[in-house]
Structures are given as structure tokens and as C-alpha cells.
């Protein structure tokens, strides 16, 4: 009964007294905003990909790595987005455990598969880039190992959502695991500074300024913006689908309850 009441909140808009508190957090209002925005976001993402790929393919080869340096236009943005997704999930986890935000668990649940996909792209492209650069597809250095741990943590969160039947229990368990896994984010970021690794240190976000030539830095930034637009589009679409899925599930529970009473 508690589960049905909780899921029923995704169908029924709040009363006037609760409206100032919930604001845009109300699922119905969220859907009303997202529906017309999604086509424009998808179009902007497609245009950004066309521009980014054009600039990436036209970027000059590196004098040491040759054409293989262009792998970074996929590898680096996917690495950034893999970490950003987990940071977003951590904020959503606080929203679930502390503030009981109506859309927090929806945001965390739907971000996990997208973040896992970005992290997998990061690992695969990093391996392909490492073979001609380091002579091997994989080394157990701090940066690569911590990113692999991040990917496994993503799989753990996804598994929690799929195996725990009660949505409220699944949300709390996933939120706790997400906050525990957030400890790994600074390890990924500063691993190249704390330990002696094969992975190169930061070359874009530095106090001294970027260490990359503008001919390569510009398409890299464009691709980072493109990947961010892709994430926003996929995440909003996934949140919309999750809300609708919960509404259908709530209606089925209510119909089953009504049939049981009769």
C-alpha cells in the first residue's frame, strides 16, 4: 500500500499547498517542459556531432603519435562524461536520502546506464589508444584501474535497481552505493599526480593553461560539448520514459487492487 501511494505521486499533481515546495520537481510539470524541448536538443546534438566530427577529422596528426591522437576526441569527452554522470548521480543520491526530492531517484536510476556507456567507451578507446602508444592494450596503473572500478560501480548500481523489487528500497540502496563510489572520483582525477603512472597528466584543465595546441584543443572542446548535449538529451528522454513507466505500473497496481477488493 505504501508503494502504491508513493508511485501514485508520479500521477497526481500536488495540491496547491504543496506546489510552492515542489515547483518544477513535480513529474507532470517536468514532462510538460521536457516534451517540447527534446526534439530541439536532439537536433542540436546532431548538428554538434556533424561539426565536431568534421573538425576532429580535419585536425592535424601529432608529430609523435600520428593519426592515433585523434582517438582522444572520443576518449577524453567520454571520460569526462563518465565522471560527470557519477557526480550527478551523487547529487541525486543526496536528494533521495536527505531531501526526498520527487525526481531524485528517477534522475539517478536513468543516469547510471548512460554513465556506464560513456565509461565503457572511455575504456575501449583508451585501450585502442594505448596499444600504439604504450605497446599494450592495458596496464594496471592508477588511472586505468580507478576508471575500471568506476565502470564496475556503475554495473553495481544498475544491478541494484534491477534486482530489488521495491522501488523505494532500491532507490535507497543505490543512493548509498553511489555516495560510497563518489570517493573514487578524486582518485581518478588526481591519480596521475599522486602515483607514478603511464597515463599522461592533465593537459586541458591546468593552472598554467592548456598544454594542447589550439588546432587539437578546439575540436576537443567541440566534441566535449557534443557529448554533453548527447548526455542531456538521453538523460531527459530516459527520465521521461521512467516516469511514464512508473505511471503505467501504478495504474496496473491500482487496477489489481480494485479487482481484488471486488
Q: Are 192 and 142 a contacting pair, CB within 8 Å?
A: yes
Question: Whole domain around residue 139: which residue ranges?
Answer: 2-15+24-261
Give the global pTM: 0.84
Report the b/e string of 89-116 with b at 16+ CB within 10 A.
Answer: bbbbbbbbbeeebbbbbbbbbbbbbbbb
Print pLDDT tens along the chain (262 aa).
444 434 344 433 434 333 344 455 688 888 999 999 999 999 999 999 999 999 988 888 777 777 888 899 999 999 999 999 999 999 999 999 998 887 999 999 999 999 999 999 999 999 998 888 888 888 888 889 999 999 999 999 999 999 988 888 999 999 999 999 999 999 998 877 666 666 666 666 555 556 677 888 888 999 999 999 999 999 999 999 999 988 887 788 777 777 777 6
Question: Cell 544491478 identifies what position?
Answer: 159
Tell me what pLDDT residue 200 has: 66
Supply the pLDDT for residue 25. Answer: 64
For the chain, the distance separating the N- and C-terminal CA atoms, rounded to the nearest angstrom, is 17
Report the C-alpha gap between 155 and 13 in whole angstroms.
33
Question: Are the CB atoms for 4 and 256 separated by under 8 Å?
Answer: no
Give the integer Cα–Cα distance in Å for 142 and 146: 6
d(CA 64, CA 59): 15
CA angle 244/30/92 to nearest 5° reads 90
Structurally, the chain folds into a number of domains equal to: 1
Which 3 state secondary structure label does DSSP give 139?
coil
Amino acid at each position: 500500500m505504501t508503494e502504491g501511494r508513493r508511485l501514485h505521486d508520479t500521477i497526481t499533481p500536488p495540491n496547491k499547498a504543496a506546489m510552492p515546495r515542489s515547483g518544477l520537481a513535480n513529474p507532470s510539470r517536468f514532462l510538460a517542459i521536457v516534451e517540447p524541448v527534446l526534439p530541439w536538443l536532439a537536433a542540436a546534438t546532431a548538428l554538434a556531432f556533424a561539426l565536431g566530427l568534421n573538425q576532429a577529422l580535419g585536425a592535424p596528426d601529432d608529430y609523435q603519435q600520428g593519426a592515433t591522437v585523434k582517438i582522444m576526441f572520443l576518449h577524453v569527452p567520454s571520460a569526462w562524461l563518465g565522471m560527470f554522470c557519477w557526480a550527478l548521480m551523487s547529487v541525486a543520491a543526496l536528494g533521495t536520502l536527505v531531501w526526498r526530492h520527487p525526481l531524485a531517484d528517477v534522475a539517478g536510476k536513468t543516469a547510471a546506464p548512460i554513465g556506464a556507456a560513456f565509461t565503457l567507451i572511455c575504456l575501449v578507446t583508451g585501450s585502442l589508444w594505448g596499444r600504439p602508444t604504450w605497446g599494450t592494450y592495458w596496464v594496471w596503473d592508477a588511472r586505468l584501474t580507478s576508471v575500471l572500478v568506476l565502470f564496475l560501480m556503475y554495473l553495481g548500481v544498475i544491478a541494484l535497481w534491477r534486482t530489488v523489487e521495491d522501488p523505494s528500497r532500491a532507490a535507497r540502496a543505490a543512493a548509498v552505493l553511489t555516495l560510497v563510489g563518489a570517493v573514487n572520483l578524486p582518485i581518478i582525477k588526481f591519480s596521475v599526480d599522486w602515483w607514478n603512472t603511464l597515463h599522461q597528466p592533465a593537459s586541458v584543465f591546468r593552472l598554467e593553461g592548456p598544454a594542447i595546441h589550439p588546432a587539437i584543443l578546439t575540436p576537443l572542446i567541440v566534441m566535449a560539448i557534443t557529448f554533453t548535449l548527447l548526455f542531456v538529451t538521453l538523460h531527459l528522454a530516459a527520465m521521461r520514459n521512467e516516469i511514464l513507466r512508473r505511471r503505467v505500473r501504478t495504474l496496473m497496481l491500482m487496477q489489481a487492487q480494485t479487482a481484488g477488493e471486488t
